[in-house]
A and B are shown apart, each in its own frame.
Chain A
Amino acid sequence: MVRDYKACHDRVATTILGGIPDRVPLYFLTSEDVSARIAGLTIREMMATPEILAEKSILVNDYLGGDGMSLAANPYCGPFEGLAFANANGKPEAFVWKDYTTPFIKEGVICKTEADIENLVIPDHTTVEPWPTIFKAMSILHAKTGMGASNAAPSLTWSSVQMLRGTQAYLDVIQNPDLLLKLCEKIYESQWDYYQAFCKLVQTPSYVFEAAYAFNQHMLSFDDAWKFEGQFIARFAKASGLPMFIHNCGFKPYHIEMIEKLQEEGVHILGVNASHPLDLDWWVKFREKFPDITIMGGLHVNAEMESGTEKDVENRVKEVIQKLGGDGRLIITPTCCMPWRIPLSNIKAVRDAVEKYGTYPINIT
């Protein structure tokens, strides 16, 4: 598929900035799993050099279509931050590579004991792999397409807490909160180092795409989510001076409480990327409450996309655009990352439905 990268970029940027683009943007969140299969390489082969990673990322994004451009190896501080911690702390065996599925760190291995937390080495993101490879690939991607480097994506802090401390983190919330906060402080230090490395090796980003995993009602109370993650998001936003796009792919997210609290702290929230709640009427009320916040979502990858028909997908996209797209501030994004099992016909169905119903001015009867 031949894509007009500038048109794609402008469509997304216009939407985030509150303008009305030519049509509703469509953004697929790629995963290593789907990328490796499209590229025909194992994940490690795909990440062997920045040049290969950039080239295959363009291939994958062009294949999926839509208006997105992101690295095939996800540049947010998820598994690959775990790899950097594993490498920096002499425990590379804690990281499990798979040929065609997303690699992950064994949870709870790096910070199994209190001493592990005390002695935790913060990775230097300019030198500890995989970050130099990822950052260089982002620069190449940006140079070739003008896309793919507009945001830094730290993950403050619960994603890393879970990777490093595992199940014990949840017991620490009750039994040893001070120790857990010490770990959170170290993770924050690492995330700030990541951001500075991003600025140095890629470019100064326009905004921060932040994954807020603690803010889920089935996981932590709101107060604990704020204590172990929210306060660090606010601190990061103030220190960087950048607006934030919040990603939360949990099933019961504290979207409203979290945004209100961050706004009270003076954080500028540009948008929210989520799959849940699935009830679009909830999002209509969200839109009424936060008219200036872009909604990035509308479809759950494990719902219509994975198990529905092409008509199911079309109907969902139509309904999303009808209810949320009229005045802009909407990016259609199946959330979270795309698994390989999604039928290609449903990927095409999303693209076709966005073209059919998403042209501004929206006119769906």
Chain B
Amino acid sequence: MSKTLFTAMSEQLLAFNEEDLLKVIEKALSQGITPADIIESGLSPALETIGEKFEAGEFFLPELIFSGQIMKNVLEKIRPHMISEDNKSSGRVIMGTVEGDIHHIGKNIFISVLEGDGYEVYDLGEDTPPATFLEKAKELNPDIIGMSSLISTGVSKMAETISLLKDNGIKADIIVGGAAVTEKNATLVGADGYAFDAWQGLRIVRQMSAK
């Protein structure tokens, strides 16, 4: 019976049908299936499939964002049923578009994917000065700090921000991405990770938080 419900969850998530997905989840919860099993056996396989289809060029940003949004809503729904151990977040991330750049789409897509994967994400918004990254890093003690920039001028601001964070002893791993960034200049600015797109970013964040 559980297997049938897990299959139904995966199918509904892959069909981006939030309403029916929530119905299946409610049914599973009423049958005593734990939130941890719902996530692990019902939702995670579908998320992996979405990621694979994105990488294979079968799904695109609309599907990636939509699935992230559905997952965020689903996690809200099942959170009250979680015991404290289940309710542990995958990790804490602060995320912002660097100073001088007010594009939010790439950042928001990444946040949506991270939240869908159970990360606790603090969005610093756009046009975020280096000092704000530092202030929030001290306040929130994140596991990972993400920086995004679309414009070609954003890379130098990433370098400045990373330098300020490291000079002040911030130990969080730093991941950068966005249209302005390449793997090579990510290394040059001192980042610990670089992602070409949101799905690749999620993989790297998972590796960082598993350390």
On A, residues with C-beta under 8 Å from B are 31, 33, 96, 98, 101-102, 104-108, 162, 166-167, 170-171, 173-175, 217-221, 224, 249-251, 300-303, 306-307, 336-341
Contacts and interface: CB of A to CB of B under 8 A. Distances in A.
B16 A174 contact: yes
Contact of A340 (B62, B69, B156, B180): B156
Contacts, number: 101
Given A33-B153, A101-B100, A106-B126, A224 B62 contact: yes
Given A96-B102, A307-B188, A102 B66 contact: no
A302 B65 contact: no
A15 B100 CA distance: 36
A219 to B, nearest CB: 5
A96 B127 contact: yes
B109 interface: yes
A170 B153 contact: no
A106 B180 CA distance: 18
B1 to A, nearest CB: 31
19 contacts: A98-B100, A101-B101, A101-B153, A107-B103, A166-B104, A170-B109, A171-B62, A173-B62, A174-B16, A219-B61, A220-B60, A224-B62, A251-B196, A302-B181, A302-B182, A303-B185, A306-B185, A337-B151, A339-B155
Residue among A31, A106, A167, A175 facing the most chain B CB atoms (10 A cut-off): A167
B155 A250 contact: no
Nearest to B198: A218
B115 to A, nearest CB: 13
Contact of A106 (B102, B179, B185): B102
Interface of B: 16, 57, 60-63, 65-66, 69, 100-105, 108-109, 126-127, 151-153, 155-156, 179-182, 184-185, 188, 196-197
Contacts of A102: 100, 151, 153
Contacts of A249: 179
Contacts of A108: 104
Contact of B153 (A300, A307, A340): A340
Contacts of B184: 303, 307
B179 A250 contact: yes
Given A174-B63, A221-B60, A167 B182 contact: no
A249 B103 CA distance: 16
A307 B153 CA distance: 13
Contacts of A106: 102, 104, 126
Contacts of B103: 104, 107
A108 B126 CA distance: 13
7 smallest beta-carbon distances between A and B, as pairs = A339-B153, A173-B62, A101-B100, A341-B156, A339-B152, A167-B108, A104-B102
Contacts of A33: 153
A278 B108 CA distance: 27
A349 B66 CA distance: 46
A107 B104 contact: yes
A108 B102 CA distance: 11
Contact of A341 (B65, B102, B155, B181): B155
Contacts of B65: 167, 170-171
A221 B66 CA distance: 15
Contacts of A306: 152, 155, 185
Contacts of A340: 153, 156
Contact of B69 (A98, A171, A173): A171
Given A96-B127, A108-B104, 16 more contacts: A98-B100, A104-B102, A105-B102, A162-B105, A170-B62, A170-B66, A217-B57, A218-B196, A221-B60, A300-B182, A303-B184, A306-B152, A307-B188, A337-B152, A339-B153, A339-B155
B202 to A, nearest CB: 14
A339 B98 CA distance: 15
Nearest to B62: A173
B161 to A, nearest CB: 14
Contacts of B180: 302, 339
B152 A338 contact: yes
Nearest to B99: A101
A34 to B, nearest CB: 8
Contacts of B185: 302-303, 306-307
A170 B179 contact: no
Contact of B179 (A31, A96, A175, A251): A251
Nearest to B105: A167
A111 B197 CA distance: 26
Contacts of A337: 151-152
Nearest to A305: B152
Contacts of B188: 307
A93 to B, nearest CB: 13
A98 B151 CA distance: 14
A105 B127 CA distance: 11
A163 B62 CA distance: 16
A339 B158 CA distance: 13
